[in-house]
Structure 1
Amino acid sequence: MAGGGGGGGEADAAGERAAGAGLGSRSAAEERSLLHPSLFSAYSDEDLVERAFEPAQKIVVSISSDPDDPDADDEHLYYGGHAPPFSWRKLWLFTGPGFLMSIAFLDPGNLEGDLQAGATAGDTLLWLLFWATAMGLLVQLLAARLGVATGKHLAELCRDEYPDWARRALWLMAEVSMVSADIQEVIGSAIAIKILSNGFLPIWVGVVITALDCFFFLSLENYGVRKLEAVFAVLIATMAWSFAWMFIKTKPNGKDIIIGILVPRLSSRVISQAVGLVGCVITPHNVFLHSALVQSRKIDPHKEYQVREALRYYTIESTMALVVPFMINLFVTTVFAKGFYGTKEAGNIGLENAGHFLQEKFGEDFFPILYIWGIGLLAAGTSSTITGTYAGQFIMSGFLNWRLKKWIRALITRSFAIVPTITVAVYFNTSDSALDVLNEWLNVLQSIQIPFALIPLITLVSKEQVMGVFKIGPRTQK
C-alpha cells in the first residue's frame, strides 16, 4: 500500500521480494496452485479475477478535446445540470452491444415462430409481434441499465444478492433456457446447410459444422471486440437483404399489414403460436447477455456522469438495433401469411420445408427463393449460435464463479448444447414434421422461462443498495 507504515512497510516489501522466503511471500495464485495444482497452476492472479471483459478489451468512448483529462468537458456539463450535446461519433463508439443483443430476436426459433404465425394466423398476430418487440426493448434497456450502473452483469449480481438455493435454481433455469434456444439455433443452421448443399449434407453434419464455425467466429474477439461486432453487422445485413428480397418478391398487402399491427386480434386456435411468438422474441438468456455486453465500453460505474452518458447512448443504440429485427420478423410473417394462410399447407410448414414451399408457390427466378431462404436462415443460425455461446459463458461464470479461461468456458458451454442437439438431429433426421413440432414447443418453453430472468432483473434494478441513484421507481433518474 502506498504511503503506509513507513520503514515497516519497506521492510515487508523487501522481505516479500527476497528469494527463498516462506509461505508469507507466496502469491495467492502460488498458494492455490499448491492446494489444487491441476486446476490453478496455469493461472496468474490476473487470470483469477473474473471479468465480463478484460480492461485491455474495453473500447474507450471519450472524445473530449482535453488530452490531459478526456472526461473533463462531459463531467463539467453533467454536474452543471446539462447533458453534453448529442454526438454521432460517440453514438458510433457505443454502437455494438445492442446489435449483438438484437440477434436473439432473429434466431431460427424466431423464424419458426414467424412463419408458423403467418401461415396459421395470417397478419392477425402482427400486433403481438410489435408489442412483444417493444416489451423486449424495455427489458433489454433494464438489463443495460443494470450492467452499466453496477459494473456487473445479471448472473454475477444474482450470485451476490440471492441465497445459495435461489442462485442454483436461477442458474438451472437460465441453462435450460439457453440450451433450448441453442438447440433451435444450431438445428436452424444445420437445416440451412442442408438446403444450400442440395441435401448432400445431413442435419447432423450441419450441427458439427455449426459447432466448429462458432469457435472460429468467437476467436475473432482476440483481435478486438470491434472485429466481432463487425462480423455480426455483416450477418444482420445478410438477413435483412435475404428476407427483404423475399418480401419484395411476394408483395404482401400493405393495408392488411397496417391493420394487423394496429388492431389486436387473437383466436383460440392460434394460442400456441401466440405464446411461441412471445417466447421466441423475448429470450431469457438475452437478458444476461446484454447486461454483460454493455461492459465492453470503458465506463466507470463510480462516476455518475459516465453512467448517465452511457445510458443515454445505449438507449438510442438499442432502440435502433431492435427496429431491424422487428422489420425482418415482419417480413417473414407477412411472406408466409401471403403465401400460405388459409391453405392446406399452412399446418405443415416448418424451417426445413419452408424454402421448398416458397419455391413451389412463387416459382423459379435468377435467384431461387429456396436459396435466398437458406442464406437468411444460415445467417440467423450462425449469428445466434455465437451469441448463445457468449451468453452461456457469462451465465456459467457469473452464477458459479468458475474462473476458467474463456476458451474452456466456451467449450463447456458448447458441449451443453451440442450433445442434446446432435441427439435431436439424429433422432428427428427422418421426420421433418416432428422437428417442427419440437421447435414450436421449444418456443413455448422459452415463454415459461421468461419470469426466471425477468423477476431477478426487475428486483435488482429496483434496489437502491445495488443501483444507487440509478434504481428504477416512480422517480427514476435517467
Structure 2
Amino acid sequence: MTAARPDRPSGTQPAQPQREHDRSAPVHPLDDVLPGEARVFEAAQESLAGRRRGARGLWPFLGPAFVAAVAYVDPGNFATNMAGGAQFGYLLLWVILMANLMGMVVQSMSAKLGIATGMNLPEVCRERFSRRTSVALWLQAEVIAMATDLAEFIGAAIGLNILFGIPLFPAALITSAAAFAILALQARGFRRLEAVIAAFIGVIVVAFAAQVFLADPDPAQVAQGFIPGFEGSESVLLAVGILGATVMPHVIYLHSALTQHRVVGASDEEKRRIFRFELVDVVIAMGIAGIVNMSMLVIAAAVFHENGLTEVGGDLAEVADQLGVHLGHHADILFGIALLASGLSSSSVGTLAGQVVMQGFIRRRIPLFLRRAITMAPALVIIAVGIDPSRALVLSQVALSFGIPFALIPLLLFCRDRSLMGSLVNRRATTVAAVVIAVLIIGLNAFLLEQTLL
C-alpha cells in the first residue's frame, strides 16, 4: 500500500524530479486508498537531510513493516506453533528462528522494490509481463486473498467465542463490523491505521509475555531448542508446516505498495538511505513477530508437552481452555485476546493487500468495504454450515501455499534487474540467498501440500 504524496512544504527541494510539478500532476491511483500525512513527509525529508538523527530520524519510516508483520502472527501461526510445542517441546524453536530470518530477507526485498521503482509488485508485473499473464496472476491472487481472509476471519471469530462465549456465527458478524471500523481509519490518514495495527501487535506481545511468565519454562531447555535437529518424520512435517506458513503471498505484494510512495527519494543516495531506514523497520517488526511465535511454542512446550498433552494444538478453543486449566490467572482470556487482536488486524491488512492486487494487475479498484464484504463471505458460509473452523484454518494455509511462487519468483527476478532497480539492485550474495530461500520455501510448501492432500 502507499501513503499519498502530499504537497511539499514551502522552501523544500522536490523529493524526485517529477515532484517539481506536483500540484498539477495526476494523483496515483492508490493515493486515495491510503492517504498519507504531510507531517510524516516533512519529518522524513528532515531525516534524509540529516536534521533528524537517532530515533527521531527513524520515526517517519517506521510502520510499513509492522503492517506486513501482522501476517507472521496471524491465526494460522497460532495453530502451527502451538501444535509444534505440544508435540515436540522446544525442539523446533530453531525452525521458527530460521523462518523469521527468511521472512526478513523477503520482506526487505519487497520494500526495496517499492522504494527503487515507485511501483508495487503487481504494477511491475503488469508492466513487464503480457496482459494474459497479468490477468492470470490477478485471478490466482484473488483466490489467495479469499483464503487469507478465511483464516484470519475465522481466527478472530474463535477469539470472540473464547472471550465471551458468543457462538461462532454471531461472533463472525461482530468481527466483520470491527474490521469495517478498522478500515475506516484510512479516511483519517494511513499513519493512524499503522498505529492501530502496531497497537494490536503490542496487545499480542503483552498477552504472550504474560503467558510465558506464568508457564515458567526451563531456560536450559529453551536454549537447546535453538540447536537444529529433528525427532522422526512427524517433527519434519511439522517443521515444514512452520516454514511453509512463514512467507504469505499477500504481504509480498503489500510491502512493496507500503513503501512505493511513502517517502520518495530524489537521487540514488536518498533511495539508499530510505532503504536503510526501512531495513531497520523490517528488522524491528519481524523481530517482534519472531519473538511472539517463539513464545507460542515455548508456552505449548512448557504447559502441554511437559504434562503429556501432546495432542493439544490443532483446536484453538481447546488450547485456550487447557491454558486456563493449567496456568490459571485467566491465561485462557489472555490467549483469546491475543487471537482476537491477531484476527482483526491481519484480516484488515489482507483486505488492503487485495486492493493493491486488483489495482496493480488490472488497473481496477472497488470500494474497500465492498471488497471486505466479498472476501469475508466464504468465512461466513463455512461458519454458518457448521464446518470445523480449525480444519478450515488448515485448508486455508494449504491454499496459500499455491500462491507463494507467483509472488516470490517475480520479486526475485525484478530485484536482480539493474535496469529496473538501479542502485538498489540486489547484490550477488543477496540474490543467491534469496534464491535458496525461495527454493526452500516453495519446495517445502509443495511437500506440505502433498502430505496434506494425500
Deviation track 1:325-361 (CA, whole Å, cap 9, x = no partner) reads 1111111111111222276643253212211111222
**Structure 1 position 291, deviation (Å):** 0.6
TM-score normalised by L of structure 1: 0.79
Name the counterpart of 1:215.
180
Instruction: Pick one of 390, 405, 417 that aligns with 2:375.
Output: 417
Name the counterpart of 1:237.
202
Does residue 1:308 correspond to 2:272, yes or no? yes
Name the counterpart of 1:324.
288
Name the counterpart of 1:467.
421
Instruction: Pick one of 67, 72, 78 that aligns with 1:105.
Output: 72
- Name the aligned partner's letter for residue 113 of structure 1: T
**Structure 1 position 178, deviation (Å):** 2.3
Instruction: Pick one of 368, 384, 391 that aligns with 1:426.
Output: 384
Asked if 2 retains the 8 angstrom alpha-carbon contact of 1:275 and 1:447, the reply is: no
Residues in 2 aligned to 1:183 and 1:380: alpha-carbon distance in whole angstroms: 13
**Structure 1 position 307, deviation (Å):** 0.7
Does residue 1:175 correspond to 2:156, yes or no? no
Residues in 2 aligned to 1:475 and 1:234: alpha-carbon distance in whole angstroms: 36
Name the counterpart of 1:440.
394
Give secondary structure in 2 for the equivalent of 1:299: coil
Give secondary structure in 2 for the equivalent of 1:60: helix
Instruction: Pick one of 60, 63, 66 that aligns with 2:41.
Output: 60
Asked if 2 retains the 8 angstrom alpha-carbon contact of 1:355 and 1:369, the reply is: yes
Identical aligned residues as a percent:
30
Name the counterpart of 1:159.
126
Residues in 2 aligned to 1:266 and 1:91: alpha-carbon distance in whole angstroms: 43
**Structure 1 position 100, deviation (Å):** 1.0
Name the counterpart of 1:225.
190
Residues in 2 aligned to 1:420 and 1:219: alpha-carbon distance in whole angstroms: 22
1:61–1:277 CA distance, 2 compared to 1 (3 A): farther
Name the counterpart of 1:397.
359
Structure of larger gyration radius: 1
Asked if 1 retains the 8 angstrom alpha-carbon contact of 2:115 and 2:261, the reply is: no
- For structure 1, the residue ranges without an aligned partner over 5 or more in a row are 1-44, 75-83
- Name the aligned partner's letter for residue 228 of structure 1: L
- Name the aligned partner's letter for residue 361 of structure 1: H
Aligned length: 406
Query: What's the Cα RMSD here?
Result: 2.6
Matches within 5 A, 1:255-334: 255-265=220-230, 267-295=232-260, 297-300=262-265, 302-334=266-298
Asked if 2 retains the 8 angstrom alpha-carbon contact of 1:279 and 1:445, the reply is: no
1:309–1:47 CA distance, 2 compared to 1 (3 A): closer
Give secondary structure in 2 for the equivalent of 1:282: coil
1:441–1:345 CA distance, 2 compared to 1 (3 A): farther
Name the counterpart of 1:449.
403
Deviation track 1:153-178 (CA, whole Å, cap 9, x = no partner) reads 10111111111232223223322322
Residues in 2 aligned to 1:57 and 1:184: alpha-carbon distance in whole angstroms: 32
Residues in 2 aligned to 1:335 and 1:343: alpha-carbon distance in whole angstroms: 12
Deviates more, 1:375-384 or 1:302-311: 302-311
Asked if 2 retains the 8 angstrom alpha-carbon contact of 1:159 and 1:398, the reply is: yes
Deviation track 1:270-325 (CA, whole Å, cap 9, x = no partner) reads 3442222123221111111111111352313x521221111010011110111111
- Name the aligned partner's letter for residue 111 of structure 1: F
Give secondary structure in 1 for the equivalent of 2:401: helix
Name the counterpart of 1:381.
343
Instruction: Pick one of 232, 243, 247 that aligns with 2:212.
Output: 247
1:87–1:412 CA distance, 2 compared to 1 (3 A): same
Give secondary structure in 1 for the equivalent of 2:103: helix
